[in-house]
Amino acid sequence: MRIVSIVGARPQFIKLAALSAKLAVSHEEIIVHTGQHYDYSMSERIFSDLGIRNPDYHLGVGSGSHATQTGEMMKALEEVMLTRKPQLVVIFGDTNTTLAGALAASKINIPIVHVEAGLRSYNRNMPEEINRIIADHVSDYLFAPTQNAAGILKNEGLEDKTHLTGDIMVDTLSNNLQVALEISQITKELEVEGRDFNLLTLHRNYNVDNPEILVNILDQLDRLGELIIFPVHPRTKKIIENTEMSWENISLTEPLGYIDFIAAEHYSKRIITDSGGIQKEAFILGRPCITLRTETEWIETVEAGWNLLVDPSVSDICDRIRSFEVPDVKENIFGEDVSSKMAVIINSI
């Protein structure tokens, strides 16, 4: 089969890595990069860390308003699909790249696999929530990462298209963790070797776009009085640069490569984040996770006691972080050898 895999943002490269390795065995895979993320640290670095080959098409769309970005991607994606005539399109996650791929392929009747289907935050202030709902409802094969996601798809009448595969990020993490712990020098580079540190990431629109909200979060985290390593997402950097603020305990760095980042997660005392993927990695790696959001798509990690939701507008973020303790045990929520399961389904299409 000729398969077009559509990616554009950092977490999609990470999801693609494990699946692409399997698809390449039996299919002609065409990798299309929309260009949604384009900084070296957000794109090329992740490709090279994960050994993903260069995309066959780089659409160079870049940043823009939702409609502009999505519309430009759709036009360019349609052209690739009309030229290359794939039998299947694979889309990942819930970004504008996902939405553009879903709309462009479904309108010209190309069957779609949606990897990471069935997630809902029930918060429509997140652009991702709209993207997910549409992607799920126009796709033909819904690869649900968890039992909960499969249940959500069933409730939305999508049971017949659903395959409970587990979460693809499990495979990328397990394929790379050992190497990361052997080769990454990140704790040395950050001068945190053998020291306790928290690892922080923030990029959700509602946490970072308003400087007052972002500064309040960082001011509060600074008062934790513990070292916090903060690889800053470009969206967040844009805002911080304009504040002229600095924090005593928070050490800002560029976004890390994937290998360095998973090593940093492994060695961290706890992880504080609003990222979707990082909540999962924290759970898999057994690091306590504080999610600075009022809700999460990864509710199982909260129910298991490993992820604490903290509303970033409260004034006692530090107390909540300090008093959070995780249980001794954790179940396997996200599955294993996920890419093989996905490949079996795709091979049978």
Question: Could you list the active site residues?
Answer: 203
Residue 231 touches which of ligand UDP, ligand UD1, none (CB < 5 to 8 A by kind)? ligand UDP
Q: How far is CA 155 from CA 87, 94, 118, 300, in A?
A: 29, 19, 10, 18
Q: Does 277 bind ligand UDP (CB under 6 A)?
A: yes
Helices (H), 110-192: 127-138, 147-155, 168-183, 186-189
* Long-range contacts formed by 331-334: CB under 8 A, 24+ apart: 331/304, 333/146, 333/283, 333/300, 333/301, 333/304, 334/145, 334/146, 334/166, 334/167, 334/169, 334/170, 334/280, 334/283, 334/284
Interaction partner, residue 295 (ligand UD1, ligand UDP, none; CB < 5-8 Å by kind): none
d(CA 17, CA 154): 28
Judged by CB under 6 A, does residue 310 bind ligand UDP?
A: no
CB of 14 to ligand UDP, least distance (A): 4
Q: Of ligand UD1, ligand UDP, none, which one does residue 293 interact with (CB within 5 to 8 Å by kind)?
A: none
Q: Give which of ligand UDP, ligand UD1, none residue 39 binds (C-beta under 5 to 8 Å, depending on kind).
A: ligand UD1
* Of positions 38, 206, 247, 324, contacts ligand UD1 by CB under 6 A: 38
CA dist 282 → 162, 174, 276, 345 (Å) = 26, 13, 10, 28
Is 128 a binding residue for ligand UD1 by CB under 6 A? The answer is yes
User: ∠ CA(285), CA(16), CA(183), 5° rounding?
Assistant: 50
Under DSSP, the state recorded for 293 is: S
Q: Work out how close the CB of 271 gets to ligand UD1 at its nearest, in angstroms, rounded to a whole number.
A: 16
Stretch in the footprint of ligand UDP (CB under 6 A) among 240-248, 275-283, 295-303, 329-337: 275-283
Interface with ligand UDP, residue 275, by CB under 6 A? yes
- Please give the C-alpha separations between residue 57 and each of 82, 105, 169, in angstroms, as whole numbers: 14, 16, 24
Residues numbered 81 to 100 that lie near ligand UD1 (CB under 6 A) are 94-96
**Is 9 a binder of ligand UD1 (CB under 6 A)?**
yes
Q: Among ligand UDP, ligand UD1, none, what does residue 258 contact (CB within 5–8 Å per kind)?
A: ligand UDP
How many whole angstroms separate alpha carbon 8 and alpha carbon 309? 28
For binding to ligand UD1 (CB under 6 A), which residues are involved? 9-11, 36-39, 42, 63, 94-96, 127-128, 203, 234-235, 238
- Interface residues with ligand UDP (CB under 6 A) are 10-11, 14, 46, 201, 231, 255-256, 258, 261-262, 275-278, 281
